[in-house]
A and B are shown apart, each in its own frame.
Chain A
Amino acid sequence: MTFKDTFLNGEQGLFKPASLTPMQKLILRFVVVGLIFYGFAVIEGMIMRIYQIEPISAMPDFQYFAMLTAHPLVGIFGSTYSIVFGAFLFLVPYLMKKPLWSVKLGNWTFILITVGTLTFWLAGFITHYAPLYTLYWPLPVDFSQFSPIGGTFFIVGIALVMLGAVFFVINIFKTIVYTPEGWEKQPSKALIASAIGYDGFTNLFRKKKNRKEHLVSLPVAAIARGSVDVALNAGIILFTGVLILVYMVGHLFGFDLKDTAVDALLYKNWFWWGLDLIADGLVLIFVAGTWYLLAMMISGKNLYMQNIARAALLVELVVSWTVWSHHLLSDQSQPGFLKIISGELVTAFELITQGLAFFITLATLWSARPLKMTNELKFLLGGLLGFALAVPAGIMQADIGLNRILHNTQWIVGPHVHVAILVGLTMTLYSAIYILFPIVTNGAKLYSQKLANFHFWAHLIGGIGMGAFMGMAGLEGMLRRTIYFNGEYTLYMILAGICGALLLLAFLAFFYNIVMSVGLKGVIGIFTPSKLDEKNLLPQAK
């Protein structure tokens, strides 16, 4: 095939959009849009990396901070939520061998997350609304610095994403418990008990012969438990969004509400409680579940220590509700018992739960050696390494003594946040994309293995390297969320910038590889309606 033919029709013309079911199109739409938003986040990240080397004179500081506000939100909500929600809306019915409860609701999730992300991104880009994702009170309603109109659109955009998240949760739980047409009545309560992990937990205390059978598979249980945190997080963010909107609308109508009516420390507590349901909740639970699924699919073996893994997921869920105070170790009015119990001790449990998931995944893979080093396997190992590096970095900063000299430095956002998200989470997602690619495309072939190899090495080295150089700067006092105008950390920032460029190149190589695999017509075809029955996940054999 000529280059032009491949570009238009995909590798060997194997990808046929007309053969896709509505469910396959849904997941592919989520993935395409998720990757585009990832591209937004990477390009923004690269611009900010350059700015950290030398502030760009053409870009005023308020534009930089607007970008800093949008960057993590586009990355987490626009990209990760899209890819994860799309994959799970496909995987839950796939693993339970029953149709999704509502394809229409799945489409609404897709639309709301896409439109919501574009809305808050544009609000930040045009009006420079920049209170950061932390929204520390009363900054989001400081109208001497930010436009209330821009802020209103920003908050509405976030609210749309949260509504999409709520629809996702409803769809997941309804799919687990509902009885499809023509099926025997499903035991809803028993399914929920299994999905939430109640049965797995009680099995730990039962004799082997008395143990209850698991009605849902472990990956579905992980998705269900992570979805609980998605729902709680959406509730907190929506509540906070409404509060901020009240102040904004009041200001627009000419009456300013007193911002002291809201206690800044109490606000910080509830908001971090909600935000941590993402960072220390659903991300860790979803990632552990995805590792288990990938390990089973790659090895073809049952999961090592399955009951322990199920129980650990339940423990992680409870831990995620009680760890928020590690973000407030530098807040001197935060009660000491919360700092010690929630901030230090419960947070240390994440070392245990994530360590267990790490070990169980490796042991499952080991039981099937020798394995072939496929793309999904190498990216899974990369994802495991990412969390093995990032979780201990986080545990160190969640310490009353060390936090005093680490809080808000580049250490937090480098070796912990970016290594966790870029290396740990994103490489796990890439592994899932590589393994699901032939399933959801009905056998399309990857355009270039060499590009896939480059993608792997450039992403791994770029991600770890960027985190490491940011961390080194942080240990020498470089703060996050600020600008250095006198070249105080230029060497570290140049090295981090080179690694950031590797990440950008890795993404471009991957994106090009995927576009050449399915072709331009294929990409367009993903967004046209399917004529196949929406009850079927995959095309039925004739």
Chain B
Amino acid sequence: MVDSQIVLTGQTIAYSSYAVVIILLMGWFGYHLVRPGKSSKVSHAFFYTFVGFLVVLGVSLHIVTYNTIPWASMDMNRDDIKPDKVFNITVEDHQFILPSEKLIINVGEKALFDVSSLDLTYGFGLFRTDNSMLFQMQVVPGHRNDILWQFDKPGVYSIRSTEYSGPKGAQMILKDVVEVTIP
């Protein structure tokens, strides 16, 4: 499965390029707006082409990501996929309660994290040792909160709450409790 770091790198390049282009474009527009020259009406054809471009862009973004980001389709169809491992985790009083001290996963396995909250709304995220995020989900009390993830590389991950649950929530971190190893 494509690592989320690769997706983030792609997003960084795409958005940064767009930001530079739009800033330059607005600079160009502002510069020419005040230069001497004939006022001219923008053609309707140009306008409708722009509208068409926005429609194509808006619709295609989701189609492209659904077909290129592997966890998107896996997430939507997770009820039909049999996980290799299931971890039932409970959250109460700002504490994660794990089924074991360490969650061990073999490379290539699909692991299901089924997290229940007994009081507040929390978040559940896995983070790499450099603090970057692998994935996250919300943990809503009274509802099923499960996420299926395939681990393709060995690594060590920390669990952290990704949702605000009051001042105590900032300390909801379990360091290096998920280990992905080569079997």
Q: Is the CB of B7 within 8 A of A401?
A: yes
- Most chain B CB within a 10 A radius of its CB, from A137, A142, A264: A264
User: B80-88, B102-110, B141-149: which lies at the A interface?
Assistant: B141-149
User: Pick the contact of A355 from B23, B54, B128 — CB < 8 Å?
Assistant: B54
User: Pick the contact of B47 from A305, A377, A395 — CB < 8 Å?
Assistant: A305
A402 to B37 alpha-carbon distance, docked (Å):
44
The 6 closest A-B pairs by CB, nearest first: A401-B69, A348-B58, A401-B72, A481-B164, A477-B132, A333-B143
Contact digits for B3-29, partner A, Cβ 8 Å, 1 yes 0 no = 010011001100100110011001001
Q: Is the CB of B11 within 8 A of A404?
A: no
Q: Is the CB of B33 within 8 A of A352?
A: no
Asked if A345 CB lies within 8 Å of chain B CBs, one says yes
Asked if B127 CB lies within 8 Å of chain A CBs, one says yes
Q: Is the CB of B167 within 8 A of A65?
A: yes
Nearest Cβ distance between residue B102 and chain A, in whole angstroms?
21
Q: Is the CB of A332 within 8 A of B144?
A: yes
User: Pick the contact of A369 from B39, B44, B133, B138 — CB < 8 Å?
Assistant: B39
A381 to B121 alpha-carbon distance, docked (Å):
41
A333 to B115 alpha-carbon distance, docked (Å):
12
User: Pick the contact of A145 from B32, B66, B166 — CB < 8 Å?
Assistant: B166
Q: Is the CB of B11 within 8 A of A396?
A: yes
Nearest Cβ distance between residue A479 and chain B, in whole angstroms?
6
A400 to B143 alpha-carbon distance, docked (Å):
19
User: Pick the contact of A344 from B7, B62, B120, B142 — CB < 8 Å?
Assistant: B62
- Most chain A CB within a 10 A radius of its CB, from B8, B69, B133, B160: B133
Q: Is the CB of B62 within 8 A of A404?
A: no
A146 to B19 alpha-carbon distance, docked (Å):
42
With A359-B47, A404-B75, A482-B169 known to touch, is A138 a contact of B138 (CB < 8 Å)? no
- Most chain A CB within a 10 A radius of its CB, from B4, B26, B54, B119: B54
Binding site for B on A (CB under 8 A): 61-62, 64-65, 130-132, 134, 136-139, 142, 145-146, 260, 263-265, 268, 304-305, 328, 330-333, 336, 344-345, 348-349, 351-352, 355-356, 359, 362-363, 365-373, 377-378, 381, 384-385, 388-389, 392-393, 395-396, 399-402, 404-405, 407-409, 415, 464, 468, 471-472, 475-479, 481-483, 488-489
Contacts of B146 in A (CB 8 A): 332
Q: Is the CB of B23 within 8 A of A385?
A: yes
Contacts of A264 in B (CB 8 A): 121, 140-143
A489 to B137 alpha-carbon distance, docked (Å):
22
Contacts of A479 in B (CB 8 A): 125, 160, 162
With A367-B42, A381-B29, A401-B66 known to touch, is A265 a contact of B167 (CB < 8 Å)? no
User: Pick the contact of A61 from B44, B160, B167 — CB < 8 Å?
Assistant: B167
With A62-B167, A136-B163, A373-B30 known to touch, is A351 a contact of B51 (CB < 8 Å)? no
Contacts of A65 in B (CB 8 A): 164, 166-167
Contacts of B47 in A (CB 8 A): 304-305, 359, 363
A178 to B68 alpha-carbon distance, docked (Å):
56
Q: Is the CB of B42 within 8 A of A352?
A: no
Contacts of A367 in B (CB 8 A): 39-42
A414 to B118 alpha-carbon distance, docked (Å):
32
A332 to B142 alpha-carbon distance, docked (Å):
12
Question: Taking CB as reference atom, which chain A residue is nearest B146?
Answer: A332
A407 to B55 alpha-carbon distance, docked (Å):
25
Contacts of B59 in A (CB 8 A): 345, 348
- The A/B interface has a contact count, at CB < 8 Å, of 223
Contact digits for B120-136, partner A, Cβ 8 Å, 1 yes 0 no = 11010101101111111
8 A Cβ contacts from B39-72 to A: 39-42, 44, 47, 50-51, 54-55, 57-59, 61-62, 65-66, 68-69, 71-72
Nearest Cβ distance between residue B73 and chain A, in whole angstroms?
9
Count residues of B near A (Cβ-Cβ below 8 Å): 77
A300 to B54 alpha-carbon distance, docked (Å):
28
Question: Taking CB as reference atom, which chain A residue is nearest B142?
Answer: A264
Q: Is the CB of A352 within 8 A of B54?
A: yes
Q: Is the CB of B162 within 8 A of A407?
A: yes
9 CB-based A-B contacts, threshold 8 Å: A145-B167, A333-B144, A352-B55, A366-B40, A396-B61, A408-B162, A468-B19, A477-B127, A482-B164
User: Pick the contact of B131 from A131, A392, A476 — CB < 8 Å?
Assistant: A476
Q: Is the CB of B36 within 8 A of A370?
A: yes
User: Pick the contact of A482 from B57, B144, B170 — CB < 8 Å?
Assistant: B170
With A264-B121, A356-B51, A381-B26 known to touch, is A477 a contact of B66 (CB < 8 Å)? no
Asked if B76 CB lies within 8 Å of chain A CBs, one says yes
Contacts of B50 in A (CB 8 A): 355, 359
With A333-B145, A388-B26 known to touch, is A365 a contact of B33 (CB < 8 Å)? yes
Q: Is the CB of A348 within 8 A of B62?
A: yes
With A145-B166, A348-B58, A481-B163 known to touch, is A260 a contact of B26 (CB < 8 Å)? no
Contacts of B168 in A (CB 8 A): 145
User: Pick the contact of B34 from A336, A344, A372, A488 — CB < 8 Å?
Assistant: A372
Question: Taking CB as reference atom, which chain B residue is nearest A351?
Answer: B58
With A392-B15, A482-B169 known to touch, is A400 a contact of B72 (CB < 8 Å)? yes
Contacts of A62 in B (CB 8 A): 167
User: Pick the contact of B121 from A139, A304, A377, A388 — CB < 8 Å?
Assistant: A139
Question: Taking CB as reference atom, which chain B residue is nearest A480?
Answer: B164
Nearest Cβ distance between residue B44 and chain A, in whole angstroms?
8
Contacts of A330 in B (CB 8 A): 123, 136-138
User: Pick the contact of B26 from A331, A336, A384, A396 — CB < 8 Å?
Assistant: A384
Question: Taking CB as reference atom, which chain A residue is nearest B79?
Answer: A336
Question: Taking CB as reference atom, which chain B residue is nearest A312?
Answer: B51
Q: Is the CB of B22 within 8 A of A389?
A: yes
User: Pick the contact of A395 from B38, B42, B58 — CB < 8 Å?
Assistant: B58
Asked if B90 CB lies within 8 Å of chain A CBs, one says no
Contacts of A369 in B (CB 8 A): 32-35, 37-40
A268 to B138 alpha-carbon distance, docked (Å):
11
